[in-house]
Chains A and B, each alone.
Chain A
């Protein structure tokens, strides 16, 4: 799996958009970008994933650059409950699943 680089920490004011960047310059053509988050004392939670098109769901939006070497997870209106560690992971999606390799992630602190 390709290595990812994320800032170790970020702050965001409640109600504002949180934009979490991720670099994955060695991503292969068949590798997807996945985002998970881990709220304190809980197991990781899937947020969103994409291959090359931008994706949006009820939790977040994922913007992938045209060369696919970086992406941004956007939480449009951050709340205090979004305080968590966010992991950007790239891996091939075989359809029958493959292991996830977690990096160090970005610790997002949402403040009043």
Chain B
């Protein structure tokens, strides 16, 4: 299994500012993903974090708004830029293990709850 740690766990931010969320995995993983969960909603995939190259974004999400880095196999960051109240959400990091045995199981962090005022 894998333990995924996210920082910060929660934050209150001012409109127009940016915040970077960190994701650290305790095992070597293949794929890392960032999801958003708006209040009362299901999870929406933002992007796949690719090691050493630009992230792959889903429709509706762009790099200028959600820049992502993944400098190595176990660490990734998501920045929420120029925040507005509509960005108030839980942001979740997820990953699959390098030695997953083919199960494809995704592990998730506990999420980072952002409130934008």
Using CB atoms and an 8 Å cutoff, list the residues of chain A in contact with chain B. 32, 34, 36, 42-46, 49, 85, 87, 91, 93-105
> Bound state CA distance, A74 and B111, in angstroms?
27
Contacts of A95 in B (CB 8 A): 100, 102, 104
> Bound state CA distance, A52 and B108, in angstroms?
26
Residues of B contacting A: mostly: strand
Report if A43-B111 is in contact (Cβ < 8 Å); known contacts: A94-B104, A97-B30. Answer: yes
Q: A32 contacts which of B4, B44, B92, B104 (Cβ < 8 Å)?
A: B104
Closest to B105 in A: A46
Q: Are B106 and A97 in contact (CB under 8 A)?
A: yes
> Bound state CA distance, A36 and B42, in angstroms?
12
Contacts of A100 in B (CB 8 A): 33, 45, 94, 106
Q: Are A43 and B110 in contact (CB under 8 A)?
A: yes
